[in-house]
């Protein structure tokens, strides 16, 4: 069975629908549909009437690329009010041979969450941290012999109110949500390195309106907080100072600006028209000073937030999100951080931009959950997979085209 997973990341700037397939454990992008977001404020539903058309367009674009509709998604949930709880669960091994299976593991995970979730909370992930068979600590209990499996786990929850609105909107356009993944878990799944598995670190995702700071201890999400600043604040700064539209400000940031003014040149210039209709010459040096000032503030606030979220020694910091794509961003990180830091880099054909970090990470995270539960899944059924593979596709040849005329020549002769 082909393993194809679709993720939906509804951001404040864009809606991103990614369909990816795992082939020999390597993620390949089949489709990446992106549409300007509407009706979203700081990651939450604000205006359904504006969001629904934008979502429909996103799924329509994906269908045009794939040839079949996407009807099921794993949905990203913003880190707003994410809560992590420590819990324990136990499962009795009832099989005759007492061989521990994935089903025993799932029962222990369910036991860890039983009666632990409040009525107004939604459980979106159970992360096992330690296993014990009878009285012996083990690394992986699957296929081992025992009478009782116990585990410690972190339960990740969010308020139901923050997910119910998304469910209602997606259900109204015929889209089924098969699971939720918080943005922090997606970012970690995509960007972490194997050596981070035993360390304590942080991930900073600089989005459009907010910046999310997440703490991970040995690969387990422990805390997450949101800073009310993001890439749009840079656009507002540029727009205010030069008295230009936010659209022009964003274009200047993306095409002329640098993250550090040290690397900028005053000779590099662009002429724009301000809101009064007057021509204005903007040079790269002045523009970059504006960008660097706001980015430095965001990064320094992120550093302070890390210190508030944990008293433990941080061993790595990963920075990602769309705003980290500003040129020379890595040089600004060297100026701000003294801790070991890494700028996220996506090297997957079809989505080589940090704005896809969460969406790609969700696919990788969900694939890991499928492996843990020993389950197979594809967003498409067998008939749809045949269409996707081109089994039923027919080649349409215009008789007026060169190829059509050649066919006519050979078959008419």
Task: Please compute the mean of the pLDDT values over residues 128-149 and round it to a whole number.
Answer: 94
User: Does the pLDDT value for residue 409 go beyond 80?
Assistant: no
State the Cα torsion 78-79-83-86 to the nearest 10°: 100
In this prediction, residue 400 carries a pLDDT of 54
Q: Indicate the residue among 159, 175, 208 that finishes a domain.
A: 159
Asked if the structure places residue 127 within a domain, the reply is yes
Asked if the structure places residue 253 within a domain, the reply is yes
Q: How confident is the model at residue 406 (pLDDT cuts 50, 70, 90)?
A: very low
| Residue 113 structure tokens | 């969450």
Q: Is 195 helix (H, G, I), strand (E, B) or coil?
A: helix
Helix (H) or strand (E) holding 295: helix 284-309
Tell me if 102 sits within 8 A of 175, measured CB to CB.
Answer: no
In this prediction, residue 307 carries a pLDDT of 95
The pairing of strands 316-320 and 200-206 is parallel
Tell me if 389 sits within 8 A of 213, measured CB to CB.
Answer: no
User: Does the pLDDT value for residue 115 go beyond 80?
Assistant: yes
CATH label of the domain that carries residue 261: 3.30.420.40
| Residue 261 structure tokens | 């003014």
Task: Please compute the mean of the pLDDT values over residues 116-140 and round it to a whole number.
Answer: 91
Percent of the chain with pLDDT over 90: 73
Q: How confident is the model at residue 339 (pLDDT cuts 50, 70, 90)?
A: confident
Q: How many domains does the chain have?
A: 3
Same domain for 153 and 202?
no
In this prediction, residue 347 carries a pLDDT of 86
User: Does the pLDDT value for residue 386 go beyond 90?
Assistant: no
What does the angle CA 219 – CA 225 – CA 230 come to, to the nearest 5 degrees? 110
What are the residues whose beta carbons fall under 8 Å from the beta carbon of 223, sequence distance 6 or more? 84, 214, 215, 309, 310
Tell me if 159 sits within 8 A of 79, measured CB to CB.
Answer: no
| Residue 156 structure tokens | 């990740």
Domain limits at 318? Answer: 197-345
Q: Indicate the residue among 141, 159, 177 that finishes a domain.
A: 159
Least confident of 56-70, 147-161, 234-248: 147-161
Task: Please compute the mean of the pLDDT values over residues 311-334 and round it to a whole number.
Answer: 95
Same domain for 152 and 224?
no
State the Cα torsion 354-360-362-363 to the nearest 10°: -170
Q: How confident is the model at residue 168 (pLDDT cuts 50, 70, 90)?
A: very high
Tell me if 370 sits within 8 A of 2, measured CB to CB.
Answer: no
Tell me if 291 sits within 8 A of 284, measured CB to CB.
Answer: no
Radius of gyration of the chain (CA): 25
Report how far Cα 69 is from the mean position of its chain's Cα atoms.
Answer: 21
Asked if the structure places residue 76 within a domain, the reply is no
Q: Over the chain, what is the mean pLDDT? A: 90
Same domain for 262 and 213?
yes
């Amino acid at each position: 069975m082909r393993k194809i997973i679709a993720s939906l990341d509804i951001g404040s700037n864009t809606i991103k629908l990614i369909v990816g397939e795992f082939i020999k454990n390597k993620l390949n992008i089949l489709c990446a549909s992106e549409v300007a977001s509407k009706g979203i404020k700081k990651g939450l539903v604000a205006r359904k009437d504006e969001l629904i058309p934008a979502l429909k367009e996103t799924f329509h674009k994906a269908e045009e690329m794939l040839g079949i509709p996407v009807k099921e998604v794993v949905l990203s949930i913003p880190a707003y009010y994410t809560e992590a709880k420590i819990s324990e669960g136990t499962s009795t091994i009832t099989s005759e041979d007492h061989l521990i299976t994935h089903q025993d593991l799932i029962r222990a995970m369910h036991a860890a969450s039983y009666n632990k979730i409040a009525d107004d909370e939604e459980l979106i992930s159970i992360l096992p941290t330690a296993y014990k068979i009878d009285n012996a600590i083990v690394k992986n209990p699957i296929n081992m012999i025992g009478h009782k499996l116990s585990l410690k786990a972190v339960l990740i929850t969010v308020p139901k109110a923050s997910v119910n609105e998304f469910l209602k909107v997606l259900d109204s356009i015929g889209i089924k949500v098969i699971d939720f993944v918080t943005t922090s878990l997606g970012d970690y799944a995509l960007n972490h390195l194997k050596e981070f598995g035993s360390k304590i670190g942080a991930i900073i995702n600089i989005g459009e309106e907010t910046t999310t700071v997440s703490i991970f201890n040995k690969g387990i999400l422990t805390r997450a907080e949101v800073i009310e600043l993001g890439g749009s604040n840079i656009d507002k700064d540029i727009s205010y100072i030069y008295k230009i539209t936010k659209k022009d400000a964003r274009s200047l940031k993306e095409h002329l600006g640098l993250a550090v003014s040290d690397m900028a040149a005053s000779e590099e210039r662009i002429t724009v028209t301000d809101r009064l209709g007057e021509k204005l010459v903007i040079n790269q040096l002045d523009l970059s000073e504006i960008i660097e000032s706001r980015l430095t503030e965001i990064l320094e606030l992120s550093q302070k937030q890390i210190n508030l979220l944990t008293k433990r020694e941080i061993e790595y910091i990963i920075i990602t999100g769309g705003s980290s794509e500003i040129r020379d961003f890595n040089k600004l990180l060297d100026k701000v951080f003294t801790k070991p830091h890494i700028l996220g880099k996506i090297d997957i054909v079809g989505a080589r931009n940090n704005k896809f970090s969460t969406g790609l990470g969700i696919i990788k995270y969900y694939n890991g959950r499928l492996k843990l539960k020993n389950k197979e899944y594809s967003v498409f059924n067998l008939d749809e997979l045949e269409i996707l593979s081109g089994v039923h596709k027919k080649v349409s040849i215009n008789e007026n085209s060169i190829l059509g005329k050649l066919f006519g020549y050979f078959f008419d002769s």
